[in-house]
Structure 1
Amino acid sequence: MWAIALLVFREVLEAALIVSVVAAATRGVRQRGLFIGGGIALGVVGAALVAWSADWLAAAVSGAGQEVFNAGVLLAAVLMIGWHVVWMSSHGRELSRQMQAMGSAVKAGASSMVMLLAVVALAVLREGSEIVLFLFGMRAGGADHLWAGLSVGVVAGAALGYALYAGLLRIPLRHFFSATNAMLVLLAAGLASTAARYLIQANIVPALGYRLWDSSWLLANGSLPGQAAHVLVGYDAQPAGMQMLFFAATLLLLWSGARWARGHAGAAVAKRALPDGLGQPAQ
């Protein structure tokens, strides 16, 4: 039972950490619970469908179906998180002012919330499909106490995810959106790095060096802190060169996009503040 609980715990923790960051990043947004709950439900349903089609996936990509599927899910999540980061960079100050004035009456862009719903669904989909496949395998092997191990793992993983969420809510409001946006950028970069690892395993991209360094002596990938660092900031004790390339490229692209969005939003605000006619070019 405890082996099952440990594996389920690690998978649930990965999804729970992502959901916690998303939940914190949408603090005060009306109906965010509906979006996040809907994303979790979609992910669970999708995980069951993926598990049932595992043989087809493996045959479709010459035995590397699970790796290709995981990489595709992660890269899709990176794109959606990136879109939200850029959107929040241009609207964060406005949302902060609205939150201070109206609390839970904040209205975020519907398209941004749909993107984050998809991120939650993809996180649950990826980790849930791995849990279902593992449990099917354990059941076929005659393992006992599957439901007990599953329950312990889910509760423990969800509890740690909630602890992170509660900690994020303690950030002062004036710094809140900047802090959560930075966490989303690191989360996206870490997901991109993990996607690169799956693509290397599937022999789709070159490794560019299989082990740039080994910091397992300091923080092992399999440890609880290592697992949390892997999800939140993309930590890998033995990264390949392609993983670092994906990580750095994602950081650079999202940082550049967020900076452009902030500048564009600031220019628009300044232009609206000018008296009529002063913002028009001379004839």
Structure 2
Amino acid sequence: MLIPFLIMLREGLEAALVVGIIASYLHQSGRQAWIPAIWIGIFLAGALALFVGAGLQFASAEFPQRQQELFEAVVGLLAVGVLTWMVLWMRRAASGMRAELNDAVERAFHSGRRHTYALIGMVFLAVAREGLESIFFLLAVFQQSQSAHAPLGALLGLAVAVAVGIALYRGSLKLPLAHFFRATGLFILLVAAGLLAGSVRALHEAGIWNHAQQIVFDVSDRLPLDSTLGSLFSGIFGYQPAPTVSEVVCYLGYLAFAYWLLRPRALSRPSAAARAASPASSASQP
């Protein structure tokens, strides 16, 4: 329940921020009459996400056991890619998001009579991206965890995200978004590592990947999977009491790759201010 809640909270907040920035700009520029276009884009994006999710879930139910394992592995791998891209995109785009969206709204209104469709399309693409990301992730979580509370957690996360988004738009709530997205980004990377290990396990059960299946360690007697703590760790981090070599390598390898992608680059190259100051400082020296 915790993972779907946090993912839907983060995804919902990302969508709410985009929609809130667009709505605020329309309000500040005296274009309140186009606010309904935002709602049209939101509803169309929500309908698309629900349609895709229902179609994938219905298709997976028709597969035999072996094909279901393969489908689970493919969805898990897609979810890992989507989650990784989501963390990277938010890290790079958060600082200039407002300016870019405001410029996009202005370009939409300078597109002639089609500005209404351009505005609907902008909101639709922003919300649909978050919705489809959520669908792939939730499918992977629901398939690897049979908890009945997972859908409830997703709905609660979405509801909280909508409430927080409205509060941010009205200015009644100040949330340290940079710290929030950084903390949830680290948590999501741990979740993605567990999904990747689970996908490797599903590929083995589907008969596709049969290499490096030696057991690294076995702590099933100390922390069994059906215990409360074991179930919690399994639902959050993909814990397995007897992981194989391939699962451990994929888990740790993904975390190392994610750290390489997100590593601080301030020490690797000088800042622009330092480069600009270096000629002046060298010229002032005798």
**TM-score class normalised by the smaller sequence:** 0.5 to 0.7
Q: Deviations over 1:128-166 (max 9, x none)?
A: 6799xx9xxxxxxxxxxxxxxx9x857754578689989
| Contact residue 193 and residue 243 of structure 1 kept, 8 A | yes
Q: Deviations over 1:46-77 (max 9, x none)?
A: 3433454347643xxxx511111111111111
The CA deviation at 1:172 is 5.8
Match of 1:255 in 2: 259
| Contact residue 12 and residue 158 of structure 2 kept, 8 A | no
**Among residues 90, 110, 133, which one is paired with 1:119 in the alignment?**
133
**Among residues 19, 35, 40, which one is paired with 1:31 in the alignment?**
19
Is the alpha carbon distance of 1:126 and 1:184 closer, same or farther for their aligned partners in structure 2, counting shifts above 3 Å?
closer
Give the 5 Å matches for 1:1-283. 15-23=4-12, 26=14, 29-31=17-19, 42=48, 44-54=50-60, 57-58=63-64, 63-91=65-93, 94=95, 116-126=130-140, 153=149, 157-158=153-154, 175-206=179-210, 208-259=212-263, 262-263=264-265, 270-271=271-272
Match of 1:145 in 2: none
Q: 1 CA distance for matches of 2:42 and 2:249?
A: 31
Residue type of the alignment partner of 1:122: F
The CA deviation at 1:196 is 0.8
Q: 1 CA distance for matches of 2:15 and 2:153?
A: 22
The CA deviation at 1:30 is 2.4
The CA deviation at 1:185 is 1.5
Is the alpha carbon distance of 1:46 and 1:175 closer, same or farther for their aligned partners in structure 2, counting shifts above 3 Å?
closer
CA RMSD of aligned residues (A): 5.0
SS at match of 1:71: helix
Instruction: State which drifts further: 232-241 or 43-52.
Output: 43-52
Q: 1 CA distance for matches of 2:224 and 2:60?
A: 30
Q: Deviations over 1:73-117 (max 9, x none)?
A: 11111112222223344455x37xx89xx9xx9x9x998976543
| Contact residue 72 and residue 202 of structure 2 kept, 8 A | yes
Match of 1:5 in 2: none
Q: 1 CA distance for matches of 2:43 and 2:249?
A: 34
| Contact residue 81 and residue 115 of structure 1 kept, 8 A | no
The CA deviation at 1:200 is 1.1
Q: For the pair shown, which has the larger CA radius of gyration, 1 or 2?
A: 2
Give the alignment's TM-score, normalised by structure 1: 0.58
| Contact residue 40 and residue 124 of structure 1 kept, 8 A | no
Is the alpha carbon distance of 1:118 and 1:54 closer, same or farther for their aligned partners in structure 2, counting shifts above 3 Å?
closer
Is the alpha carbon distance of 1:79 and 1:179 closer, same or farther for their aligned partners in structure 2, counting shifts above 3 Å?
same
SS at match of 1:213: coil
The CA deviation at 1:240 is 1.7
The CA deviation at 1:258 is 1.3
| Contact residue 197 and residue 248 of structure 2 kept, 8 A | yes
The CA deviation at 1:233 is 2.5
Q: 1 CA distance for matches of 2:248 and 2:143?
A: 26
| Contact residue 90 and residue 265 of structure 1 kept, 8 A | no
Give the alignment's TM-score, normalised by structure 2: 0.58
